[in-house]
A and B are shown apart, each in its own frame.
Chain A
Amino acid sequence: MLIVCGPYFFEPTKVILKSPYFQALNMNPAIKINGIHKNFGSLHALKGIDLTIEQGEFFALLGPNGAGKSTLISILAGLIKPSAGDISVMGFDVVNQYQQARQLLGVVPQELVFDPFFNVREMLRFQAGYFGRGRENDAWVDEILEGLGLADKAHTNMRKLSGGMKRRALIAQALAHKPPVIVLDEPTAGVDVELRQMLWEFIKKLNREGHTIILTTHYLEEAETLCSRVGMMKQGEIVALDSTANLLNKFAGKKLRLTLGDVSLPDSIQSLLRHQEDGIFTFALSDMVQIEFVLSALRAANIKVIDMQLSEADLEDVFLSLVGKSS
């Protein structure tokens, strides 16, 4: 019979139908967030977040510093208690059914933390052990070590690893119990290109195998390349939630970059201006027709175009237009 342990040592209360392993086979969303509020004193950090992430998604949660992304993830992980609302992981409430919810969740913390007493393999075994996994999990640990380029560092003490290697070990720890839902909070902050590529290959492979991935990052090109859906947060609220393709179509279109020098733009095209620096003006255009509109307005104002570049808008443009400033 399958049993999961109750809140106390000697209280094995839940039977097979309540098992997270049984429930993992159901069709509940990977993450369901209902009306989450969080107050820190007078600061209203989260203002009623509603969000559903389906199983198997590769989802990006974007926003500037202080938008509330990490607070939301900390509530999901049980590190912070919500002031109101609820979150479930594959149908299990993260407060009332935290044991089952955490079994299904792997979170990579943003801070580069480590335990200086142990080596990489020991830490991974401990981490898996906390989730009830024993030696039978060693093959998976080996796969993580290989996939993240840590195999030759398996017996190195954590404090002797470089910053990049510590980041890999941190990611490996979150994956040690093979969770179906993986949350990566700024996993590539301050790491080199090689690790980023290696990490994304490994994470993409996990996603192909069915793991749900939730990513927060300041590297918007990563989110654009990897994620099928994007949520953007600003000041504790979700300001955009759509597929990456739809967001690009809906908010951006084309990007026209004109070198004009030290001039004053006509009022008629001010609303299209997104950015201005050192005589270079960047306009966000919804279609090709607007190019001629901008150029004719400049001609009418006797402003000479020194250089011109036209490109497709990217997620950063969407982000800037919604959030208003760079992350």
Chain B
Amino acid sequence: MNKAKVTNSPNLKASFRGPWTLLKKELLRFWRVAFQTVAAPVITALLYLLIFAHVLEGHVQVYNGIPYTAFLIPGLIMMSVLQNAFANSSSSLIQSKVMGNLVFVLLTPLTHFQFFAAFLCAAIIRGLVVGLGIYLVAMWFVDIHMANPLLILAFALLGSALLGTCGIIAGIWADRFDQMAAFQNFIIMPLSFLSGVFYSIHSLPPFWQKLSQLNPFFYMIDGFRYGFFGKGDISPLISLSIVGASFLVLALITLKMLKSGYKLRA
């Protein structure tokens, strides 16, 4: 009896090729529809910028010496980074589940960690691409200085990682598009809009200030903004610790879900 010839001996490079292929596919997936996934959120953020800056410039006092339009831009960038990181992993997973083509990935030898890493990196990259797009266009309107670029990068990376992980959890949990829409509209949107993107929480009454501090998005927006102006509502190190710890906790939960095959393997 013949035996099938098995070609291509495995090596370390081949071991990395699996997750790299999944990442490449996820990147191409959103890049193929870049009008929808990159251009549209950039335009939306600019519309917010134009409208809010026009209405509120000169009427709202935020940080001393910082015009409202300049204050608004980092918040809008970070909000878009977070929303798009979430959208990337969540929409990819729910589409693949509903259409049934997730089976092509589930049949492969990819580990749960490799699966997580590929979806996470794609979400981070989409978030950063959208954020960079908004920054570059916003530069036409206001010249904003970066006080601490490393802090900006750290919050952008950790924030998009946190929301990318939330997107993976939502994508695994949801069985239908309306469940995903509920997750997005009742959790992600309110938290991102009520996080201090459009205002400093110091302008709020004390009760709402306290409530805002329970919102994890507040720390991501405030820390990111601190990187631009060197000032914020709370210490950036506290924000970074809270965001980092939240990411680690959610990443561990996600890995556990993937390892157990929750909602993916019966």
Which residues of A are in contact with B by a Cβ distance under 8 Å?
2-5, 7-9, 12, 19-21, 24-25, 40, 54-56, 74, 77-81, 98-100, 102-105, 107, 109, 111, 113-118, 122-123, 126-127, 129-134, 136-137, 140, 173-174, 178-180, 206, 208-212
Q: A126 near B21 (CB under 8 angstroms)?
A: yes
Query: Which 3 residue pairs are nearest across A and B when measured between Cβ atoms?
Result: A129-B21, A5-B15, A210-B2
Q: Which residues of B contact A136 (CB under 8 A)?
A: 8
Q: A56 near B3 (CB under 8 angstroms)?
A: yes
CB of B41 within 8 Å of the partner chain: no
Which residues of B are in contact with A by a Cβ distance under 8 Å?
1-12, 14-22, 24-25, 28-29, 32-33, 96, 99-101, 103-111, 113-114, 117, 261, 265-266
Tell me the nearest residue of chain A to B112, going by C-beta.
Answer: A7
Q: B1 near A55 (CB under 8 angstroms)?
A: yes
Q: B103 near A79 (CB under 8 angstroms)?
A: yes
- Of the A-B pairs whose beta carbons lie under 8 Å apart in the complex, a sample of 26, sorted by A's number, is A2-B10, A9-B19, A55-B4, A77-B107, A99-B109, A102-B107, A103-B10, A109-B107, A113-B99, A113-B100, A113-B104, A115-B96, A122-B28, A126-B25, A126-B104, A129-B18, A130-B110, A132-B14, A134-B17, A136-B8, A140-B7, A210-B3, A210-B4, A210-B5, A211-B4, A212-B4
Q: A134 near B14 (CB under 8 angstroms)?
A: yes
Residue of A12, A25, A115, A140 near B101 (CB, 8 A) is A115
Q: A2 near B9 (CB under 8 angstroms)?
A: yes
Q: A3-B12, A117-B29 are in contact. Are A131 and B265 (CB under 8 A)?
A: no
CB A116 to nearest CB in B, in angstroms, measures 7
A205 to B43, CA, bound (A): 55
Q: A209 near B4 (CB under 8 angstroms)?
A: yes
CB B209 to nearest CB in A, in angstroms, measures 42
Q: B3 near A78 (CB under 8 angstroms)?
A: no
Q: B109 near A100 (CB under 8 angstroms)?
A: yes
Tell me the nearest residue of chain B to A123, going by C-beta.
Answer: B104
Which of B14, B18, B99, B101: most chain A Cβ within 10 A? B101
Residue of B21, B99, B106 near A78 (CB, 8 A) is B106
A58 to B266, CA, bound (A): 28
Q: Which residues of A contact B15 (CB under 8 A)?
A: 3-5, 12, 132
